[in-house]
Amino acid sequence: MLAKVSSRSVFAARNVRFSSSLSLQDTLAEIVPAKRAQLQKLKAEHSQTVIGEVKVENVIGGMRGLKAMLWEASVLDPNEGIRFHGLSISDCKKVLPAAEGGQEIILESMLWLLLTGKVPTVEQTRALSRELASRGELPAYAEKIIDSLPKTLHPMTQLSIAVSSLNHDSKFAAAYERGIPKTEYWTYALEDSLDLIAKLPALAARIYTNVYRDGKSLPAIKPDLDLVGNYVNLLGYSDNHSLTEYLRLYIALHGDHEGGNVSAHTAHLVGSALSDPYLAYSAALQGLAGPLHGLANQEVLRWMLAMQEAVGADCTHEQIKEYLWKTLKSGQVVPGYGHGVLRAPDPRYIALQEFVDANPALAASPIIKLVKKTFEVAPGVLKEHGKTKNPYPNVDATSGCLLYHYGLNEFKYYTVIFGVSRSIGALTQYVWDRALGVPIERPKSVSMDVLEALVKK
């Protein structure tokens, strides 16, 4: 913590903004007018300025590379990876407050940064932890809905249903029905977003205990713990400090990855119809549950375990190469590799590997050794295969394997943890979308006949 504090002056010199002593709500209220003015200026002076072109490949290729949506909290560089309000992951590790007794960045400090663009103080981070804890218990109807779901239903489907059900109490939806002015939308959006983020650990833990622990009763939320501390406690792993710290890092790092990824984009799209934060984030979770997106962490472990069984834990590079080729030749993707934007190893993957390197027990784990060995050969194989534009690992290449090492081996649950995290990025933008009054999203689509006619012109 001392090192973090002393690096403040270095960051201040880089114009990184530090929060004063205001509450989160007051900090935002202070920023909203300036952001609105920034958008008005852009509209007034540059609405017609061209910033790119649309090619046929954008229309038929998943809009890759098209700069067509506003996203405030983070920007993804293909080679450097993600920056949160200009801060890289290693910057965040230096400057964002950790939990009491911990070293890793936590959801609360990342959420504060994402929402406000400012680095919170330790006191502000603690106050946000207490606020989230005070909002964290579930309403009885939500517990009833979760408990009624079949244990065989995928945990991500359960999470999406549970989040959606909370719209029963949406303050945003109720205020809209009452007829509030548009300028006030963001305050209700923020209320719902904080409520939802706060309740995600209890929702996610209830799903876990129902599916994997015979519905064992859950402890109450502790008012003095950070959100992930509470989550780990609810999951029944509170005696494992290393896992708690890993989850703090994991959940902070997965929070936001600019706007175009499937989950974030979905929340933005659904929210643009003024569906409340619960409905928007429930929809985002449905996208996160796809194997090319968040479900890849489950798929990586499944693939790794199958490889381990086929070639043994102590396998050679040559055996891994053969297994990679077998996967590729059977027409499957290598899970945990490739990316829609990144063209270098994902810095989130690197940050998790650094966590491993600092923990000898993790570095010695057979499954984590296999992750590392696979990284040593997979890029070469994927380059030779010649299809993927990015032969390097993304964050999913290792995230689930660490959970497996810690004994959290119910891999169909892994994306739920990702879902707890992604809320902070998706809902940050939800709040800003309402504060800035961005319109309903409605791009123009074209048929192939129209495209043919357009290219002939």
Ligand X SMILES: CC(=O)SCCNC(=O)CCNC(=O)[C@H](O)C(C)(C)COP(=O)(O)OP(=O)(O)OC[C@H]1O[C@@H](n2cnc3c(N)ncnc32)[C@H](O)[C@@H]1OP(=O)(O)O
> Chain centroid to CA 9: how far?
29
Catalytic residue among 265, 268, 339, 405: 339
Q: Looking at 187-314, which runs of residues are DSSP E strands?
A: none
Q: How far is the CB of 27 from ligand OAA (least distance, A)?
A: 26
339 is catalytic: yes
Please state, in angstroms and rounded to a whole number, the distance separating the CA atoms of residues 422 and 381: 31
168 is catalytic: no
Pattern 258-287, ligand OAA, x by CB under 6 A: ---x--------------------------
Kindly tell me which residue out of 10, 292, 310, 454 binds ligand X, with binding defined by CB under 6 A: 292
Burial group, residue 53, by CB count within 10 angstroms (0-12, 13-18, 19+): exposed
For position 257 contacting ligand OAA by CB under 6 A, the verdict is yes
For position 425 contacting ligand X by CB under 6 A, the verdict is no
Pattern 377-416, ligand X, x by CB under 6 A: ----------xxxx---xxx--------------------
Residue 379 contacts by C-beta under 8 Å, 6 or more apart in sequence? 337, 391, 392
Structure tokens at 251: 């959940």
Name the residue nearer to ligand OAA (CB basis): 93 or 254.
Answer: 254
Q: How far is the CB of 303 from ligand OAA (least distance, A)?
A: 18
Q: How far is the CB of 82 from ligand OAA (least distance, A)?
A: 8
Pattern 322-341, ligand X, x by CB under 6 A: ------x----xxxxxxxx-
Catalytic residue among 85, 396, 405, 433: 396
Q: For 185, what's the count of Cα atoms within 13 Å in the CB-facing half-sphere?
A: 22
Q: Nearest residue by C-beta to ligand OAA?
A: 261
CA-nearest of 374, 391, 390, 373 to 382 is 391
396 is catalytic: yes
> Would you please indicate which residues are annotated as catalytic (active-site) residues?
293, 339, 396
Binding site for ligand X (CB under 6 A): 292-294, 296, 328, 333-340, 387-390, 394-396
